[in-house]
Amino acid sequence: MSDLAIDGGPRAVTTSINDSWQDVSDLEKQYVNYVLDNKDDAYAELDKFEEAYRAFVGTKHALCMCNGTAALHSAIFAAGACAGKEVIVPSATWHATITPILHCNATPVFCEVDPETFCADPEDVKKRITHRTCAIVVTHIYGNPADMDAFLDIVEGTDIALIEDASHAPGAMWGDKMVGSIGHIGCFSLQEKKPISGIEAGVATTNDDDLYDRMLALGQCGRCDALWQTDRFKALRNMGLGVKYRAGVCQGGGQPRAII
């Protein structure tokens, strides 16, 4: 057996990854131009995209945001992350899965990953749950779904929210359900290198009215009154909590509409 590359042996990888933006199709350009030319109906197109994405994933709600990190922050906030709380995250993921936890003043707790799937290891997650755990975030890494049956068993009968980071995995299935519809909240990235792109956007999906309203309250100022499912947060109707995570109309109403 030869030495590892770090010890002077041959390199296993000799070329860089060709990580480039996707080409924009003529149909996508038509949707973007339609939004730009019909300013009065621009947000109606965003609403149509949310409805299409909700139907695509198979959830009651879909909330379009400016990027996938905003979707993760909104989901982690909605799950109750705050000072004194902990959120379990996989040790192999993009940093945006973790940094929103810190913005909520909560503590990220790293779990091991399964060496076969590179997704969070359910058995290791069990060992890291404490009375402070408010959420578990599982990343469907490179489009490969985590073991959602195992994670559903872990959170059953608890107050722990199960959040799916499906940034890499729109359309991936676990059994007969699409990822993003299995846990309490699903988060998707529509960044230009992702399978479904809005050049830069994100989507959070959920079947839970309360979680949906909490995500609205955090970052959807100006849309809350029209979209809230309950009266719980009406005192925040004008400004929410002051974070503007709304998607631009070309992000949701334009390019992704051509795909969904």
pLDDT of residue 259: 53
Provide mean pLDDT across the span 6-24: 75
Cα 210 from Cα 217, distance rounded (Å): 11
Question: pTM for the whole thing?
Answer: 0.84
Q: What is the pLDDT of residues 61-96, one digit of tens each?
A: 999 999 999 999 999 999 999 999 999 999 999 999
Q: For the residues 162-174, what does the mean pLDDT come to?
A: 95
Contact 53, 178 (CB under 8 A): no
pLDDT of 25 above 90: no
The burial class, CB within 10 Å (0-12 / 13-18 / 19+), for 95 is exposed
Distance of alpha carbon 239 from alpha carbon 245, whole angstroms: 12
List CB contacts of 66: < 8 A, sequence separation 6 or more.
Answer: 200, 201, 202, 244, 245, 246, 247, 248, 251
| Separation in Å, CA 168 to CA 54, 171, 211 | 17, 10, 23
Adjacent-strand bridge partners of 137: 163
Which residues have CB under 8 Å from 157's CB, separation 6+? none
Classify domain 65-259 by CATH number. 3.40.640.10
Looking at residue 145, what is its pLDDT? 96
Residues contacting 254, CB < 8 A, separation 6+: 28, 31, 32, 34, 35, 45, 198
Please say whether the beta carbons of 141 and 168 come within 8 A: yes
Instruction: Work out the pLDDT band at 5, boundaries 50, 70, 90.
Output: confident
Most confidently predicted of 36-45, 89-98, 121-130, 220-229: 121-130
* 124, pLDDT greater than 60: yes
- Report the alpha-carbon distance of residue 92 to residue 31 in Å, rounded: 36
**CB atoms inside a 10 Å sphere around CB 217:** 24
pLDDT at residue 19 in the model: 63
Q: Which of 196, 239, 197 is nearest to 216 (CA)?
A: 239
State the pLDDT at residue 4. 86
Q: Is 23 helix (H, G, I), strand (E, B) or coil?
A: coil
Closest C-alpha among 216, 218, 235 to residue 226: 216
Residue 199, token pair as written in the block? 């050049």
Span 203-230, average pLDDT = 82
All structural domains of the chain with their residue ranges: 65-259
Two tokens, residue 52: 């299409």
pLDDT over 70 percentage in the chain: 84
